Structure 1
Amino acid sequence: MPSMKDVEPAQLTLKSRFKFRCHPGVKCFTKCCSNINIMLTPYDIIRMKNRLGMTSSEFLDKYTHMDIDPRTSHPMALIKMLKDEKKSCPFVTPEGCTIYSDRPANCRYYPIGQGTWRKSTENGIVNEEFYFFIKESYCLGYQEDTEWTVESWRKDQGVDICDEMNREWKEIQLRKDPTGKPLDPGQQSQIYLASYDLDTFKKFIFESKFLDVFDVPDDELEKIQKDEIALMKFGFKYIKYILLIEETFKLKKK
């Protein structure tokens, strides 16, 4: 998450143009990867933990720390920076990112920032995505001649796929308790489990009393046993149920 002092106060569209290129030849190479809060999405964690050959619990314990969003009281997973002078990212060396093809969406977007807001229209509340420039004083990438649109940058960096995977989860993050109360620790724990710790969430589904309580179709259970993306989306359904956004589950009849 960028510092607000580095955010250019202009809203961009997919057709907005800019010049930028990051490569080992620029003197600031990898400087933007240190002393920064990098928030992870559920899809980020699937990609990263699989790249590293770890379970979600192992990955979260070793490479992340949890924070609470002060606006919504939702739990957030962030990369745990090293305790060196630069507060370096654990995945970055002087040669670059060691997990580059599976790096998080926030890293892929840079130097563009992306957000979502809830907007009132005559057809009701809609979620609208927007973009903005992040211009840190040391960044020399803007001096390069390669020209992009926001749309072509997203596609080139593979972040369009990440956005598709993350969109439902991001929309959930905008939701607060309708009473205005912060989430209690039990709710936060369940949301953290269903968002980030998917291997443990799967055990929770199949090894606890979950299936004694909720009526889940057999074909859906088969999918989440085999497919992590299906499991991730099942987690989104569970979070919506917890937050009373939508009645996504039916209770089993006794």
Structure 2
Amino acid sequence: MTDNTTSSGGGAATINPVRFGPESRFVFECHKGVPCFTSCCRGINILLTPYDIVRLKNRLDLSSTEFLAIYTEPHLLEKTDLPVVSLKLLDDEQTSCPFVRDDGCIIYEDRPTACRYYPLGVATLSHKETDMPAPDGDGFYFFVNEPHCKGFEEKKEWTVAEWRKDQGVDIHDEINAEWTDLVVRKRSFPANVQLTEQAKKMFFMVSYDVDAFKRFVFESSFLSRYDIDPDTVEKIRNSEVELLKFGFRWLKAIFFKGEGFTVKK
């Protein structure tokens, strides 16, 4: 992510990105026959989303706490002061992704959102800062044709919408949507409005440590303090995706006085 909440799976850009909409077209294809295959998986910065953590920790049969400790580095997101994590790169000559090999990605089916988007990125505007129409309500896409990437010399043509569906990133965006909105809302706060350290810890747990958040909900007084309907309780008990979405709504309620959570009398 950058100042505009952007993410892209490639290396450092050498030319200015081009703003795209859902029907914008581009030519790109990546496969083992491309000379630069796996080059974009080295010397990169991959910011991880909440759903990325769920997919990756389950793929590796780790708890979210274990995955965070082994494979991520914490950061404070610029202009928000919110805690986020990026993928921890290897300490080799190319600062490679820990999951890349010469013949490809060993966790490809569960690769992060940013990797799925490449060679596109997605940007989210500051909350309510513009009336300009955007693809997903208050965001847009960008395209960077990096000279070192030979995938742009292939023949396959896509629209942005086709690429997002083909890469499964539309599903990731849908699951992460309320989390993204939280980040955008916080960035729109005045600079002097800061969250407490406790609030930051809560944001981090809900966003990334889904196993810890599940324990917090079901093993603390949480359910005795909030009036949560039984169907919702059952859903979040059995689905990590539903638990994530529930957590995002709860954060929105306590940070921004949103609706949906009633404290029991």
Change (3 A) 1:16 1:157: same
- Partners of 1:42 and 1:242 lie apart in 2 by 19
- Partners of 1:7 and 1:132 lie apart in 2 by 12
Q: Percent of aligned positions with the same letter in both sequences?
A: 47
Query: Is residue 227 of structure 2 the alignment partner of residue 215 of structure 1?
Result: yes
Q: 3-state DSSP class of the match of 2:185?
A: coil
Query: Is residue 181 of structure 2 the alignment partner of residue 171 of structure 1?
Result: yes
Task: Write the letter of the residue equivalent to 1:110.
Answer: Y
Task: Write the letter of the residue equivalent to 1:228.
Answer: E
- Partners of 1:252 and 1:222 lie apart in 2 by 19
Q: Is the 8 A contact 2:12 2:44 kept in 1?
A: no
Task: Write the letter of the residue equivalent to 2:240.
Answer: E
Change (3 A) 1:237 1:25: same
Give the 5 Å matches for 1:146-185: 146-176=156-186, 178=189, 180=191, 181-185=193-197
Unaligned runs of 5+ in 1: none
- Partners of 2:170 and 2:214 lie apart in 1 by 27
Unaligned runs of 5+ in 2: 1-6
- Partners of 2:110 and 2:208 lie apart in 1 by 16
Change (3 A) 1:144 1:179: closer
* 1:174-201 Cα deviation digits (max 9, x unpaired): 0127454222221111000001101110
- Partners of 2:47 and 2:82 lie apart in 1 by 13
Superposed CA RMSD in Å reads 2.0
State the aligned residue count: 250
Q: Which structure features the higher share of strand residues?
A: 1
Cα deviation for residue 8 of structure 1 reads 3.2
Task: Write the letter of the residue equivalent to 2:122.
Answer: Q
- Partners of 1:197 and 1:46 lie apart in 2 by 9
Q: Is the 8 A contact 1:194 1:238 kept in 2?
A: no
Query: Is residue 141 of structure 2 the alignment partner of residue 137 of structure 1?
Result: no
Give the 5 Å matches for 1:41-56: 41-56=49-64
Q: 3-state DSSP class of the match of 1:82?
A: coil
Q: Is the 8 A contact 2:178 2:249 kept in 1?
A: no
Give the 5 Å matches for 1:93-112: 93-112=101-120
Aligned pair partner of 2:97 in 89, 92, 114: 89
Give the 5 Å matches for 1:53-92: 53-92=61-100
Q: 3-state DSSP class of the match of 1:206?
A: helix
- Partners of 1:251 and 1:179 lie apart in 2 by 29
Partner of 1:27: 35
Query: Is residue 124 of structure 2 the alignment partner of residue 116 of structure 1?
Result: yes
Cα deviation for residue 4 of structure 1 reads 7.2
* 1:133-185 Cα deviation digits (max 9, x unpaired): 12333111111111111111111111111111122211111012745422222
